[in-house]
């Protein structure tokens, strides 16, 4: 089955202090998204879509786009590479963008920007996250089973395998029943304490403990093209309700998913991964990520280089 991997790479990486999506972290300068692309292609995906800012296209082509277009999918065809652009030109003309607005409009808007180049079932990931090699064949298999409308899937990770020692993180905290997602709550200040405790400290340090096995979303979703109609309506409603002076508000994928579940318009199967997610949220995360990637090469999970 034809399936696409859609990579959200237009984020600004403000907390990292640089363009973390294109920062070489692997032993041969590989960027994190190259691992996801490698894992996706060997799992069966045959199309890669980069969602980027327009001024990033040449950079992305030089980093990996042209090389990926020469790779072979499992069916023997060349891997298809496409680019979608997330910028203010894709915002409806009736909406006036605040003069001070710099930040993109979030992950729901990012995926909506890929509508013209994605016509097949697709998975969505962040560019600056490492998801684990086993997660890609799992979600590819589930995408092959999804009905055309009214269903989606996601890979869930354990909370304790997604937190950072270097600061708070944002996670979509999930509730499940019988393998289906029943609720997802975007939680913005999750803190890991030196003793291993995990708390959401948005309302104070004395908040209840979060169990380490709690499933969380790392924006690893699986959809069919049916979702684009829902994304368009969701983004329109978001803009209509956005305060004129709000220059940082974002339309988020987990929020859309939660609303569709609540209204009974979509079911979401939850695929579990025990892999240790890792990414560079803060610049202090970088050495640990580099060490983990080196270990994965040394133990044979990946070849000596992804750029052969």
- Is residue 225 within 8 Å of residue 119, measured between CB atoms? yes
Q: What pLDDT, on the 0 to 100 scale, is given for residue 22? A: 53
Kindly report the pTM of this predicted structure. 0.91
> Which residues of the chain fall below pLDDT 50?
12-18, 20-21
pLDDT at 20: 47
Task: Quote the tokens at residue 113.
Answer: 């920007």
Determine the straight-line distance between the first and last CA of the chain, rounded to whole angstroms: 26
pLDDT at 12: 39
pLDDT at 11: 66
Reduced 3-state DSSP string for 27-75: CCCCCHHHHHHHHHHHHCCCEEEEEECHHHHHHHHHHHHHHHCCCECCC
**Exposure string over 239-248, b if 16+ CB within 10 A, otherwise e:** beebeeeeee
Nearest to 118 by CA among 276, 242, 228, 237: 228
Per-residue confidence (pLDDT) for residue 16, from 0 to 100 = 40
Architecture of domain 4-12+20-298: Alpha-Beta Complex (3.90)
What ranges in the chain are assigned the alpha helix state H? 32-43, 57-60, 66-68, 107-112, 135-145, 227-241, 253-262, 286-298
- Residue 273's pLDDT is what? 83
Residues with Cβ within 8 Å of residue 35, at least 6 apart in sequence: 26, 130, 133, 293, 302, 306
């Amino acid at each position: 089955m034809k399936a696409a991997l859609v990579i959200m790479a237009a984020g600004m990486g403000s907390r990292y202090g640089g363009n973390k999506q294109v920062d070489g972290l692997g032993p041969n300068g590989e960027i994190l998204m190259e691992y996801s692309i490698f894992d996706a292609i060997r799992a069966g995906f045959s199309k890669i879509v980069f969602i980027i800012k327009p001024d990033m296209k040449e950079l992305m082509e030089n980093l990996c786009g042209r090389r990926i277009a020469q790779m072979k999918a499992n069916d023997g065809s060349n891997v298809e590479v496409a680019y979608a652009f997330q910028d203010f030109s894709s915002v409806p003309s009736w909406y006036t963008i605040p003069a001070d607005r710099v930040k993109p409009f979030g992950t729901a808007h990012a995926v909506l920007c890929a509508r013209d180049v994605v016509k097949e079932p697709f998975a969505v990931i962040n560019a600056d996250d490492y998801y684990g090699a086993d997660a890609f064949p799992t979600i590819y298999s589930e995408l092959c089973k999804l009905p055309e409308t009214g269903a989606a899937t996601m890979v869930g990770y354990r909370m304790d395998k997604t937190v950072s020692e270097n600061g708070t993180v944002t996670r979509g905290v999930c509730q499940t029943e019988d393998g289906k997602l029943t609720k997802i709550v975007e939680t913005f200040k999750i803190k890991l304490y030196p003793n291993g405790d995990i708390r959401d400290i948005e309302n104070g340090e004395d908040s209840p403990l979060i169990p380490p096995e709690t499933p969380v979303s790392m924006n690893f979703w699986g959809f069919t093209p049916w979702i684009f109609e829902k994304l368009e309506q969701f983004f329109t409603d978001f803009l209509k309700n956005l305060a004129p002076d709000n220059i940082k508000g974002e339309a988020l994928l987990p929020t859309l998913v939660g609303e569709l579940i609540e209204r009974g318009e979509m079911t979401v199967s939850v695929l579990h991964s025990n892999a240790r997610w890792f990414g560079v949220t803060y610049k202090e995360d970088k050495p640990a990520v580099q060490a983990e990637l080196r270990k994965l090469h040394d133990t044979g999970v990946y070849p000596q280089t992804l750029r052969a």
